[in-house]
Structure 1
Amino acid sequence: MPDSDLVDSKTLRVAVVGPCSSGKSTLTTALKAAGYEARHPAQEHSYVANMWQRVTQPDLLIFLDVDYANARARRPHIDGGPQRLVQQHHLLRHARKHCDFYLDTSGLTVEEVRTAVLTFLADL
């Protein structure tokens, strides 16, 4: 959790990680539009377990997840099979362990994801 001195939420540096098709880019765009400093390091592609910390040095880490069926539905043209998602979860295990907020986006709309994350941030 962030230090209590950082809870002027608009000054928080937020990193968004998760497997491909979990909604990272869409959420990061929404967070920026809401005035947050938000980035999504490509942690799902890095073998450096704490790259998310090194690249973004975030105050908060948000982990978006997705199941294989929903990832496939969102991006039918990109498919490495279920094993690709398993590999990405393996590469993301450090971030998952250290995240401040976890959200499985499977079956959620863009607006539901945005609302859940913005509510979390507002409640800090």
Structure 2
Amino acid sequence: MNKEIKIAVVGNCAAGKTTLVKGLKQEGYINAYNVPQEHSVVLKFWQRYNPKLLIYLTCSLEEAKKRRPRIAWGQERLEDQKKKLQNAYENKDLLIDTNNLSIDDVLKIAIEYIQERAE
């Protein structure tokens, strides 16, 4: 299995991007990286390093606020982030809705998918 595969992770704020990338790196996927696409005006920012796989994470505003209680913005900002993520969404290889999943669940889903695709 190729653990050197380039894996880009995108998603709205607090969806779990940083946490997933950390977990992937701990599992040996050294070329996994977080793309702050939701904050960029460059709509194809996720393509910057030409990833082999694009993982898209999403969560609701309610879940984001549970994870980050200091979030002061509302649904309008979340919808703006989704607009900035539209190109990534259309090109994703894997979509994970993290709302009702544990950190371990998200990592397991991602690794199983990567292993299926990388073989």
- Calculate the TM-score normalised by the size of structure 1: 0.90
* Aligned amino acid, residue 33 of structure 2: R
Give the 5 Å matches for 1:44-123.
44-54=38-48, 56-123=49-116
RMSD: 0.9
State the 1:90 CA deviation.
Answer: 0.5
1:42 match: 36
Q: Is the contact made by 1:62 and 1:100 (CA closer than 8 Å) also made in structure 2? A: yes
- Calculate the TM-score normalised by the size of structure 2: 0.93
Q: Is the contact made by 1:9 and 1:121 (CA closer than 8 Å) also made in structure 2? A: no
Structure 2 residue ranges without an equivalent (≥5): none
1:33 match: 26
In percent, how many aligned pairs have the same letter? 38
Deviations 1:53-106, CA, capped at 9 Å, x for gaps: 02x221110000001110111111022111111110010000000010001101
Q: Is the contact made by 1:16 and 1:62 (CA closer than 8 Å) also made in structure 2? A: yes
2:16 match: 23
